[in-house]
Chains A and B, each alone.
Chain A
Amino acid sequence: MSENKILCNTGTVDLSVNDITEELEQLTNNKGSKLKLTPDNADSGLAKLVLTLVELIRKLVEKQAMRRVDGGLLTEEEIERLGETLMKLEMKMEELKKHFNLTDRDLNINLGPLGDLM
């Protein structure tokens, strides 16, 4: 972005034009979050896709569960069981990530103008 297009940038947060450019490039061109399926990496590409979707669902479940806990809708026993389930799910995800050599950063998909999936 050329600097003459910036009409106002007077905040106290320490962000230079380079920082902003970097941030914007990350938002619009997140190479790591693009799905690259080729004949050579079909296995790992598919694992990445499947694990990304599983992680998305796990996070949604976790969010919904926390809303219910926060709303006081669960008994102590239910919270206990929920904690155990969520903890085991997270541990299982860690195992799978390790198995397929993936990191948290890999588990995302760039949806173009809509941004990243997660």
Chain B
Amino acid sequence: MIYSILSLKKNPRKLNTMLAGIKGISGVGLYAVSVDKITVVVCDINKAEIIADKSCAIEYAGVIETLAQQFTLLPVRYGSVMESADAIKKILERNYNEIQRNLQKVENKFEFGLKVFCDSEKLMAELEDANETVQKSGSEIKNSVFRKYVNQKLIEHRREEMLLSYVDSIIVEFTRFLTHLNTINKIKKMASTKNIIDAVFLLKKNRKDEMVQAVKDFQSKYPRLNFILTGPWPPYNFVDFTIK
């Protein structure tokens, strides 16, 4: 089973020493398979023995996490299995350039996650107070039941649009704020009614404190929202290639 793909430009002994000290899932030993400057960390496991449960996935992630502290790596999806070390080598040779490109992109970088939560009903009500147009149609209600229905839907639509535009403005402001950190960003909005922003950033390892400070500054500016920054993580969301 494959854990991760590493960039190993020098000092392979350091990796081997490290691998000797950590165990894979179910206590199986780890070893390295290399092609030139790319190394894959693997363990021998029978495909039928792989259990897709939470504790195994956490154990698996723990191994990747430990390796990521010392090496630039691309995490591999849990349960990725190849038949033999030779098959892995062939894959590495075929995809060498793409893997190198991805490794260069994430070199000396960590991923950070930012989730912004809020009580969206409360927030919408507050935004509504500051925006007269939302309720405008409500005051123009005519007698027709159909017109009343449309007016109600229109108010709901305007509230949603207002929240979306508020979320957009925060995203724009925050990404502008991060420009000097040279982050690579992936941002989703409205993952749920409470989770209004779900973002991941790829950032140089030595700039972690600046990121934390940026989030704290934003938290002070927007006390109605809850900013939760997590990390550092291996670059799970920034591996971008399909194996040939």
**Residues of A near any B CB (own CB < 8 A):** 1, 5-13, 15, 20, 23-24, 26-27, 62-63, 66-67, 69-70, 79-84, 86-87, 115
Contacts and interface: CB of A to CB of B under 8 A. Distances in A.
B92 to A, nearest CB: 25
Contacts of B228: 6, 8-9, 11, 20
24 contacts: A5-B230, A6-B228, A8-B215, A9-B228, A11-B117, A11-B223, A13-B117, A20-B228, A23-B194, A24-B115, A27-B191, A27-B192, A67-B157, A69-B150, A69-B154, A70-B157, A81-B146, A82-B146, A83-B145, A83-B149, A84-B146, A86-B150, A86-B153, A115-B191
Contacts of A20: 115, 117, 228
Contact of B157 (A8, A24, A63, A82): A63
A67 B158 CA distance: 9
B3 interface: no
B225 interface: yes
Q: Please provide the 4 A-B residue pairs with the shortest distance between their CB atoms, ordered closest to farther.
A: A11-B226, A83-B146, A66-B157, A13-B226
Interface in B200-237: 208, 211-212, 215-216, 219, 223-231, 233
Contacts of A13: 117-119, 224-226
A63 B147 CA distance: 16
A27 B115 CA distance: 12
Q: Is the interface of B mostly helix, strand, loop or mixed?
A: mixed
Interface in B146-177: 146-150, 153-154, 157-158
Assign chain B's interface to a size class. 35 or more
Contact of B225 (A11, A27, A63): A11
Given A7-B112, A11-B226, A13-B226, A80 B144 contact: yes
Contacts of B158: 70
Contacts of A24: 115
Contacts of B192: 23, 26-27
Contacts of A7: 112, 208, 211-212, 215, 229-231
A23 B193 CA distance: 10
A63 B160 CA distance: 10
Nearest to A3: B230
B227 A11 contact: yes
A28 B231 CA distance: 18
B188 interface: yes
A83 B145 CA distance: 8
Contacts of A87: 145-146, 149
Nearest to A88: B146
